Chain A
Amino acid sequence: MEDREFGFSMSEEQSSMKDTVAKLVKSMVMGNAAHEMDNNKIIPREIIDKVWELGATVSTVPEEYGGYGMEYSPIMNTIFLEELAYGDMALAIAATLPSMFIYAIMEMGTQEQKKKYLPLYCSPAYKACTAAVNEPQFRFDAVSLETKAEKQGGKYVLNGRKCFVPKALESGHLLVAANADGKMELFIVEGNNPGLKIGERGKNIGLYALESYPITLENCEVSADDRVGGDQGCNFNRFLQKTRIAMSAIGTGVSRASFEYARDYAKERVQFGEPIAYRQSIAFMIAEMAYEVDAMRLMTWKAASALEAGRDAKRESYLAKLYAGEMTMKITDYGVQILGGHGYIRENPVERYYRNGRGIAILESMAMV
């Protein structure tokens, strides 16, 4: 394969996508709107619809399944996610949620699965479908899940508990990750499967606006045809890679929002007769935030570049998420610290960024590229 040119600058298409999302986010989310969403614990449907109308999620789905058949670009997806998360992390997850289900089936599903499921969700209107990967326990690990899938004749029986399942209640289908004899697999579970119990909406440190639920799988029966990839199963690590890159992109967006807010505040806040940004102790924190946000984004792009080149991105995606998890916490912490007491008050968004930012390192598979 002919090498692509190495480079750091966005193509016209990429910057125009960035601008489009940035405009949308600025007009509908930034400022008070995001605070209201967080406060009222709900994302207005029209905002999700507006994001969905951009068509980013379904653009790469073949036309026969309801998409536009455009070239799949993980890098473009990271740009999209960063801009959304810059506006609001809950929105970034909610508005792109179907991509977890859609991309997994598009890439790893059997012909029948594609035919059956893709058209359901690749429609002009946003329809929720979700993924259940995280589990409510100490030492949770996506590569050794406690939720078990047992083969019984022509079906699988799922047992276990999941948490932070976004929009579980309104989702027509859930992609459930489970341990099938030591190999992690994805199962398509219908929302009204009698073995699926959806609990009370979860309360978490962050992402107040994103409704997420704990679910319990009690002898939840799934046809063997609904194991993603059929007899072959899925490439779970690839699934993880794509979600890890997405989480890094989201972390970059949240961190950038905190950085920019703190930067502007430090220039306006006057103490001892001059802006606090005149002091090295503040200015150096801002410098560090600036280059760490860039570093996070570059690592995200690097991992996405590997996928885009058709290469395995196991190492790059793992390191990108590890880095983003660590740095998002550091930067959003600095954001609160620079605002001091004001940063602790909920009217200032750095408070929300700090709570949301905790999720980057902890949560697995909440979004996908």
Chain B
Amino acid sequence: MINLEMTQKMIDVKSGMNNMATNMLRPISRHYDENEHQYPAELDVFRSIKIMNRPKKKKAGEEAKPEKPESRRLGSNLSTVIVIEEMSWGDLGLLLSLPNAGLGNAAIVAVATDEQMEKFGDKWASMAITEPGSGSDSGSITARATLDGNEWILSGEKIFVTCAERADVAVIWATVDKSAGKSGIKSFLVEKGRPGFKLEKLEHKLGIRASDTGTYVLDECRIPKENILGSAEVKQSTEGFKGVMKTFDNTRPLVASMALGVTRAALDLTREKIEEKDIKLDYEKNPNNVSATEKEFYMMEANLEAMRLLTWRAAWMMDNGEFNNLEASMSKAKAGRCGTLIVQKCCELLGPLGFSCENLAEKWMRDIKITDIFEGTGQIQHLIVARNILGYSSKQLK
């Protein structure tokens, strides 16, 4: 059944999170933008909340909960994109700094063994994939892991690691067999403080300055053999690597929803300023008979709606167990690029207010740009969409 009216449950989640974002994130937004690398201690209250967790296993004899009526059901992915939009509306850099909710935590929740879960489940985990010579082509990484008795020895350099300093443990991507290509790539749990594991530096960035981004250097760093995530076996096929890439189908709509939040923040401010000038946005007149500002605004609002619906569709499909590789990339391709353009335009419409640090618009314009870059650039998303639509392999459409 097609129904794109928000249910009461969705509205409740949204307004609850919006309250939180208004009261907890917005007031400290500028401070942590100006004080890059300072730890936002205000976010410590979130430490106890398990944002990334596994659903509880049912104990034997435990009765299944009665089915909720259809309208009260809200899938976890759809719920998450709503939450992320609101949090990002509050502040994207702070959202990325939420304790124990890093991409590394997502990886642990997805593939860790029960023992690993026990050991690392409560820790803040960063995810280290990118290298100086390996960005979008994550299959080309050169960090290596060599088995030596009961230990792995890791060497290499990892850049652009989110929460690099704040995390307690890092999920490091490294190859166990460079000749095996993508199938040789595995991920390893490396705790802070291990000899040979160093946080080399923290970056100074265009935006999301509240979030710390750093470089790790691994120099013959030894970790226990059991700290590998998933199987150590190098298979002939690239199924394993594809499996890892599949987790991006889940995370891409999340990044798209970050774009939704920042975009909406900029549009909300722009609307406020338009209305202060007694211009009424009535959604009625021929859009070519209103002022340029109004038409731009309508068009941006329409685009935000389009971004959101593509994002929600990708999340909804995931909740319903549908394969969403195409739709996930569509949502990010659209939201990353379009959101970036919208926030730039909002700054332009705001005029001097959009160039000044007196309000947050200029910050949002810097923040939003990352959504078209991380978790696969807009160009990579377009490649994935095009390959899907055309039925081409990565060899046919490079």
Among residues of A, the one whose C-beta sits closest to the C-beta of B303 is A323
Q: Is the C-beta of B179 less than 8 angstroms from some C-beta in chain A?
A: no
Q: Are A6 and B298 in contact (CB under 8 A)?
A: no
**Bound form: Cα–Cα A296–B310 in Å:** 10
The reply on A271 being an interface residue by CB < 8 A is no
State which size class the interface on A falls in.
Answer: 35 or more
| Cβ B310 vs Cβ A298 within 8 A | yes
- Name the contact of B309 in the complex, choosing from A280, A298, A311 (C-beta under 8 A): A298
* A318 CB-CB contact with B under 8 Å: yes
B389 adjacent to chain A (CB < 8 Å) = yes
Which of A3, A237, A294, A323 has a CB less than 8 Å from the CB of B330?
A294
Question: Given the interface contacts A301-B2, A306-B5, does A322 sit within 8 Å of B299 by beta carbon?
Answer: yes
Q: A116 contacts which chain B residues (CB < 8 A)?
A: none
Contact of A299 among B74, B306, B383, B392 (CB under 8 A): B306
CA distance A10 to B2 in the complex (A): 5
The answer to whether B5 and A295 touch across the interface, beta carbons within 8 angstroms, is no
Of A32-40, A140-148, A215-223, A351-359, the stretch lying at the interface with chain B is A140-148
- B286 pairs with A280, CB closer than 8 A: no
A6 to B289, CA, bound (A): 36
B1 contact from A11, A141, A267, A318, Cβ within 8 A: A11
> With an 8 A cutoff between CB atoms, is B291 at the interface?
no
In the complex, A272 has a CB within 8 A of chain B: no
Complex Cα distance, B387 from A278, in Å, reads 9
Nearest-CB distance from B141 to chain A (Å)? 24
Q: How many B residues are at the interface, by size bracket?
A: 35 or more
Q: Mark A293-318, 1 if CB is under 8 A from B, else 0.
A: 01110110110011011010011101
CB distance from A157 to the nearest CB of B (A): 26
What is the bound-complex CA distance between A142 and B301, given in angstroms? Answer: 21
- A residues within 8 A CB of B288? 139
- A319-B301 in contact given A6-B10, A298-B310 (Cβ < 8 Å): yes
Q: How far is the CB of A4 from chain B (nearest CB, A)?
A: 5
Q: Note all chain A residues with C-beta closer than 8 A to B1.
A: 4-5, 7, 9-11, 14
Which listed residue, B312, B334, B397, touches A280 by the CB 8 Å rule? B397
**Residues of B that sit less than 8 Å from A by CB:** 1-10, 69-74, 78, 283-289, 298-299, 301-303, 305-307, 309-310, 312-313, 316-317, 320, 330, 333-334, 379, 382-383, 385-387, 389-390, 392, 396-398
10 A-B pairs within 8 Å (CB atoms) are namely A4-B1, A7-B2, A141-B285, A240-B284, A263-B389, A278-B392, A284-B379, A288-B382, A292-B306, A294-B330
